[in-house]
Chains A and B, each alone.
Chain A
Amino acid sequence: MNEEGWPGSHTEGDMIIDIIISSLINGSVYAILAIGFSLIFGVARIVNIAHTAFYMLASYWIYFGTQTLGINPILCMLVAIILVTLIGLISYKLFIDPIREHEGAVLIGTIALAMVFQEIMLISFGGDFLGVPSLVEGYMKIFGVKVAYQQLLTFGVVLLVLAAVWALLLKTRLGLAIRSTANDREVANLMGMNESRVALITMGISVGLAAFSGAVIVPLKIVNPFMWMGPLIMMMAVVVLGGLGSIKGSFVGAYILGFAESLVVFLIPMGAYLKGSVALSIMILVLLIRPEGLFGVAFEEER
């Protein structure tokens, strides 16, 4: 399905600008999704397939909050992040934490969780494609190409959050505990870091980031019960490309894939249908040529 809100340019120059803008926005959203996914994988070795389902939940909440309840969009976004993070923490405590040491079970459990969210949305809202209007109307011209304020706003906010995550990880005591636990959770334990609490907090941050990206991108996307699958594949490809567990890798990989996606969507007729295959092809190539990804470290036996 075509989720791109802004095709419609005609000259080649316009198209290049369009490609750059849409790849920056999509790349940033993938970066936030992939960083959240990497964080909880790194700290607790949880492969959270339901990660983008939380992104979907936030999008639905924005739709429900702004369209049905008529809440102020900004307030609605904040509520989305808090609400979805809470849902994430509850599902972590109930479904993931008890089986956390069992990696296969976690994988299956999180797939089930994502399906449950999908079905709940399908029952509550139906399978229709829903839309949320832009937060800000209007556009400006960059090199003569119309760029909607909504796109710029999304991009700006996403960059701010990426910077905040970076500061959290590198400049705070919590960040130190998260990085240490991701490096070697047994030794982190020895240093006095409560490994299971760090995992819980990281889960909160991870789901919070997914909720944020879902809430902030929703005016540019189409809300439907299957909207978590496309970003999931993209996010997985980003993580594989960048190196599993590497935050820097997720960041760089996200923009590379965001760009590849936009190129395909804009340059190839019916390219939007090929997004998934591009992501999967990149994933297979990386796994064949350089399994540890761009910035990944080869995993050692012990952690």
Chain B
Amino acid sequence: MLLDVLNLTVCYDKAMLINDLSMGVDTGELVSLIGPNGAGKSTLLRAITGLVAWEKEITRRSAGRNVTLDGSITFAGERIDRIPAHEIVKRGLIHCPERRRPFREMTVLDNLHAGAYLLKEKAEMEENLDKVYQLFQPLKARSRQISGTLSGGEQQMLAIGRALMSRPKLLCIDEPSTGLAPIMRAEVFEKIGEIRGLGITVLLVEQEVSAVFKMASRNYVLSSGKIIAEGPGDRLLEDEVLRKTYLGL
């Protein structure tokens, strides 16, 4: 397994957002996390990429919420649950966050450069930039534009492009289609398929179940911080209760 999550539990104060959860992603897969709002999908991604641990650290200082994280997360054979968030990207694991969150006051090009922050070689960065521009051609024409002024679809492309700039082995994308027009959603899914074609493993959190089932090799269905079902889309659809209660199909 490229990514292995074992008995993970995440609590914010008394709320248990992730409850003794185990899951994994193999190299080359496209795995999806689906489930209702508040199931813990985003929290799981945030735990994997170190943001929960970071939040734990800063809330401890502010005497605010009490965040706890138990269990283990292993990436490419190395425990990463004790590594600070900013060092995780070095290991080839990148998180494209919910609501896109480009650096709004910076240009498209600066955003992409920020994504390649840890790359030492300038040539490597230029090469990545070419690849990203090839994948997302509209970004090239807008490279000098302030990213906050882009459309939602373009911002999503920028966010994914920024994540790709670090040359990840595993790309975690959180709800890329939310808030986009149907035609843009289709395009975003198409691009995610292309990214997988480039040999990048993808862990995708999505609400759009029908589109996800067509492309994902495996799916995890989350509810109340637990995995309640796992498998390829067609098999999950066979389960009547699951389909009606959790997938809304």
Q: How far is the CB of B127 from chain A (nearest CB, A)?
A: 18
Interface size class of A (residues with CB under 8 A): 20 to 34
- Could you tell me which residues of chain B, from 146 to 189, have a CB within 8 Å of some CB in chain A? 148, 162, 166
Is the CB–CB distance between A183 and B85 below 8 Å? no
* Residue of B59, B61, B89, B148 touching A190 (CB-CB under 8 A): B89
Q: List B39-76 residues whose CB lies under 8 Å from chain A.
A: 49-51, 54, 58-59, 61-64
The interface-forming segment of B17-25, B114-122, B223-231, B241-249 is B114-122
Contact B58 A101 (CB under 8 A): yes
Q: Is B82 an interface residue (CB 8 A)?
A: no
B113 at the interface (CB under 8 A from A): yes
What is B's interface to A at a CB cutoff of 8 Å?
49-51, 54, 58-59, 61-64, 84-87, 89-90, 94-95, 97, 99, 101, 103-106, 110, 113-115, 117-118, 148, 162, 166
Q: What does DSSP make chain A's interface, helix, strand, loop or mixed?
A: helix
Residues A184 and B101 in contact, CB atoms below 8 Å apart: yes
Q: Which residues of B contact A176 (CB under 8 A)?
A: 110, 113-114, 117
A49 within 8 A of B: no
A221 to B186, CA, bound (A): 64
Q: Does A177 contact B (CB under 8 A)?
A: yes
Q: Are B114 and A180 in contact (CB under 8 A)?
A: yes
- Do B117 and A177 touch (CB < 8 A)? yes
What's the least CB distance linking B103 to chain A, in Å? 4
A144 at the interface (CB under 8 A from B): no
Q: Which residues of A contact B61 (CB under 8 A)?
A: 98-102
Binds B, one of A6-14, A191-199, A223-231, A259-267: A191-199
**Closest CB in chain A relative to B49 CB, distance in Å:** 6
Decide if B49 touches A190 in the complex (CB within 8 Å).
yes
Q: How far apart are the CA atoms of A100 and B62 in the complex, in Å?
A: 7
Interface of A toward B, CB cutoff 8 Å: 98-102, 173, 176-177, 179-180, 183-184, 186-195, 297, 302
Q: A187 and B104: CB pair below 8 A?
A: no
Q: Are B115 and A189 in contact (CB under 8 A)?
A: no
Are A180 and B118 CB-contacts (below 8 A) given A190-B49, A191-B89? no
Q: How far is the CA of A79 from the CA of B85 in the complex (A)?
A: 37
A195 & B62 in contact (Cβ 8 Å cutoff) = no
The CA-CA distance from A189 to B87 in the complex, in Å, is 9
Cβ of A192 and Cβ of B104 under 8 Å apart? no
- Whether B113 lies near A192 (C-beta < 8 A) is no
Contacts of A297 in B (CB 8 A): 104-105, 148
Q: Are B166 and A191 in contact (CB under 8 A)?
A: yes
Q: Which residues of A contact B101 (CB under 8 A)?
A: 184, 186-187, 302
Closest to B111 in A: A180
